[in-house]
Structure 1
Amino acid sequence: MEVFLKTEDEINLMRRANQLVGATLAELGKHIKPGISTLQLDTIAEEFIRDHGAIPTFKGFPNPFGEPFPGSICTSVNNIVVHGVPDEKTILKDGDIISIDCGTLLDGYNGDSCYTFCVGEVAPEVKHLLKTTKESLYLGIEQAVAGKHLGDIGAAVQEHCENEGYGVIRELAGHGIGKEMHEKPQVPNYGHRGNGMSLKAGMCIAIEPMITMGDRQIWLLPDKWGIITRDGKPAAHFEHTIAIREGKAEILSTFEEIEKLEGDIY
C-alpha cells in the first residue's frame, strides 16, 4: 500500500484548500433553513468555490458504476448517511438534519470536510446524536499522531459512539488525501488499539465518523449514490482533513465559522 507523505509546502497548499471548504460550509450554514432546496444549496456552494479560484471536486466524480456525481456537494438529509444528490424536490423542513460533504481542488491539492447541520428546531435526541458524532471525530483526531496506528483512531470513534448506543457504519471509511481526493490508506471508524498501519508524520488523512441513531445496517438508494439507514433512523456525519505530526495532529479544515453561526445548539 503506497502512502504519500506530504512536505510542509504541500501541507500549506492543502491547508488553503481545506480552509476554503470550511468557508464554503459556513456560507451554506447561512442559508440552511426551512424552505430551501438542496439544489439551491448546491448552486450556492459551486459559485462560492469557483469564485475563490477552486474546483468543486465532487462534481463529475464517478461512483463504482462509472456514473458521474451531478452535484458540487453531497446533501444527505435525515436517514441518508452520505452521498445524497442535491435536487429541487428535496426541500428542507423544520426538524431536519442535513450532512453537507464538500470537497475543493485548489492549486493541485484537495480539501474535504463534512458537517451535519440542524434545520430549525431539532429533537433533543437527534441533537445528542450530532453532539456524540462530532465528539468522536475529535477523539479520533487525538489518536492521530506519529507512532500510533489506524486502529487507535477507529477504536476511539467506535467506543465513544457505541457507548451511547449508536451504530458505527463499517462499509464506509475515511481516507488519505492530497493530490487525489481519495488516497491510501482507508481510515475506518472502528478497530482495535495498536492494530493497523503505523501513522507517520506527513500523512494527510480525512477522518469522518458516520454514525446512526439505530442499527448500523445500510442500503444503497436506486440513484446509486445515496446511502441510507435500513431502519430509517437519522445518521450524522462529521469530517476533518488533518496532517499527522510527531505530536498533536494539525486540523487543516475548520468548523470555526460554522460554530459561530450556530451558537451553542447542543
Structure 2
Amino acid sequence: MFNSSFLRWGDFMSDKLGRNEECWCGSGQKYKKCHASIEEKIKSYAAKGYAIPDRSLLKNQKQIEGIRGSSKINIALLDYIGDFVVEGVTTEELDRLIYNKTKELGGIPATLNYEGYQKSSCISVNDIVCHGVPSRGVRLRNGDIVNIDVSTLYKGFYSDSSRMFCIGEVSVEKRKLVTVAKECTELGVQEVKPWGFLGDVGQAVNDHAKKNGYTVVKEIGGHGIGEKFHEDPWVGYVSKRGTGMLLVPGLIFTVEPMINMGKAGIVLDQNDGWTVYTADGKPSAQWEKTVLVTDTGCEILTY
C-alpha cells in the first residue's frame, strides 16, 4: 500500500454515550462494561497530543471472527502454493493455481479486478519490490528469490499475507536478505502491543535492516484491513519509537516491510502501472503478517 495523505485518525470521543447505553461496537454489552475504560485511556493520550485511531478502525468481535475465517483460507493458500514454487514454473501458472484453490476454499482473490488489477496474486522476483504481475513470460530460474503475496475475500472479510521462496541454489547473499527480511517482520510484530505506537514497529524494523547493511523502502508500507482490502492506518517502517498512531485493542493491520539489498530507492513500471522495482536493480525481499492488537499483546492472524 502506497503512502498517501489521508485522515488517519479522528475525534474518538466525539460520539459520547451514557455508561448504561449499549456500546457503539456492537458487542451488546453496556458501554461501561465494554469500551468505556479503553476510551478514557485513549482520551488521556489524545490530551497529550498523540495520534489516536477513530472508532471505525477498531474491530468488534463479529468482525474479528470474520477476519479470522478469511485468514485461515489465506494461510492455506500459501501452504498449498509452496509445493509448486519450483524452477521452470511460470508466475502465470502459479497465479492460476492460487485462483483455483481460492475458489475451491470458498473465497475470492481480493486482488482480482482490484483497481483494474487482473491477477489473483502478486508475485515478485529478485529486484521486484512488490506488486509483480504474474505472466506467462516470467519463468522461475535457479537462484531466484520470490515473494508470493495472496489476499482473500471471504464472507465479506479480507485477509492478506506473503512469504518468500528460494529457487534451487540461491546465493549466500540472497539467502541472507530473505532471512533478515523475515527477522525484520518478526521484530516489528513483537512491537505490536496495546498502548504502544506504530512508530515502535517501524523503528524495530529499520534498526535491524540497517544493522545488517540493508535499507527499508519508505514509500510503500502496511495497511489496516478488515471489511475493506485497504483501510487506515498506513504503516511505515522508517518511523521513530513513540510516534505514530496509538495501538489500541481491536486495531488490525499488516506488518510487511520491504527490505532492499542496495539503496532504498524504487521505480514504478510505467507499462503495467503496478510492478515496483528497486532503482539500483539489486534484490528485495518481503514477508507479510496481519496482526490484531489485543488487550495483552497481539494475535497473528496470517503468516
Instruction: Work out which structure has the larger RCO, using CA pairs closer than 8 Å and 6 or more positions apart in sequence.
Output: 1
TM-score, structure 1 as length reference: 0.92
SS of equivalent residue, structure 1 residue 252: strand
RMSD (CA atoms): 0.9
Distance in 2 of aligned mates of 1:225 and 1:244: 30
Cα offsets for 1:149-173 (capped at 9, x unmatched): 0100100101011111101000001
Cα offsets for 1:100-119 (capped at 9, x unmatched): 11100001110100111111
Match of 1:206 in 2: 254
1:1-266 matches, cutoff 5 A: 1=9, 2=54, 3-62=56-115, 68-222=116-270, 223-254=272-303
TM-score, structure 2 as length reference: 0.81
Note the C-alpha offset of 1:8. 2.0
SS of equivalent residue, structure 2 residue 84: coil
Distance in 2 of aligned mates of 1:125 and 1:189: 22
Structure 2 unaligned blocks of 5 or more: 1-8, 10-53
SS of equivalent residue, structure 1 residue 40: helix
Note the C-alpha offset of 1:25. 1.1
Letter of the 1:87 partner, please give it. Answer: S
Letter of the 1:187 partner, please give it. Answer: V
SS of equivalent residue, structure 2 residue 114: coil
Displacement over 6 Å in runs of 4+: none
Looking at CA atoms only, which structure, 1 or 2, has the larger radius of gyration? 2
Letter of the 2:161 partner, please give it. Answer: S
Note the C-alpha offset of 1:216. 0.5
Distance in 2 of aligned mates of 1:19 and 1:79: 30
Structure 1 unaligned blocks of 5 or more: 63-67, 255-266
Distance in 2 of aligned mates of 1:224 and 1:21: 25
% same residue: 38
